[in-house]
Amino acid sequence: MSRVLVLSSSIRKPSNSEALCQSLARGVRDAGGEAVVLRIGDMNIGPCRGCDYCRTHGNVCSVKDDMELVHKEMCMADALVLATPVYFWNVSSQLKAVWDRTFALHPYEKLKRIKKSALLTTAGVHREHTLDAVVAGYKGYIWCIGGYCDRIESVGIICIDRVRDPSDIADHPGLREAYELGRKIVS
């Protein structure tokens, strides 16, 4: 069975990007896969200290917090979905912390089960280039953890703008799109 790890990074409740995560997870389960949704915004995950301890201690991070669980789940995942609200034209600080702390697993052989990925993001307004940094960051991260090549296939990027308040996502066609992406990612 395909195991899909969804990292949902918004702290607010309810949340537009979390709603996309839940739709995607339903799609995964309906297609026979297993969806694990981690609300990383609720977890205690500090920033990378850049201490390089992990480089000489077998991929063990010197920071002891909830990132240990995220590392463990990442090593067991067949697919990885990243979800973030757009904050000042970029990803949330919670997601960025997880990205940086993934460095402990360098050169990422322990992530070799991950074959597919996707991005879910929500923004309050529509402006040209608002999402550029988010998408570029996602692509760069996936390229890195794929072993510095295009080994991990990105099967979908869902960017929903003009959703500012948590109620704005209700009945949005993006929810259906996320559901279909969930089905696709396990196929």
Ligand X SMILES: Cc1cc2nc3c(=O)[nH]c(=O)nc-3n(C[C@H](O)[C@H](O)[C@H](O)COP(=O)(O)O)c2cc1C
Q: How far is the CB of 131 from ligand X (least distance, A)?
A: 8
Beta bridge partners of 34: 3
* Closer of 161 and 180 to ligand X (Cβ): 161
Query: Which residue, 118 or 186, is less far from ligand X as judged by CB?
Result: 118
Pick 1 or 126: Cβ nearer ligand X: 126
175: amino acid identity, one letter? L
Quick one: tokens of 129? 């280039």
For residue 72, the minimal CB distance to ligand X (Å) is 25
17 versus 117: smaller Cβ distance to ligand X? 17
Closest CA to 97 of 149, 50, 131: 50
- Give me 146's structure tokens: 């794929």
Q: Least distance to ligand X from the beta carbon of 48, Å?
A: 21
Short-list 68, 83, 74, 187, CA closest to 134: 83
Residues that bind ligand X (CB under 6 A): 10, 12, 15-18, 85-89, 122-125, 130, 161, 163-164, 166
**CA atoms of 120 and 2, how far apart (whole Å):** 19
Cβ at position 76, least distance to ligand X in Å: 25
Tally of helices (H runs) and strands (E runs) in the chain: 6, 5
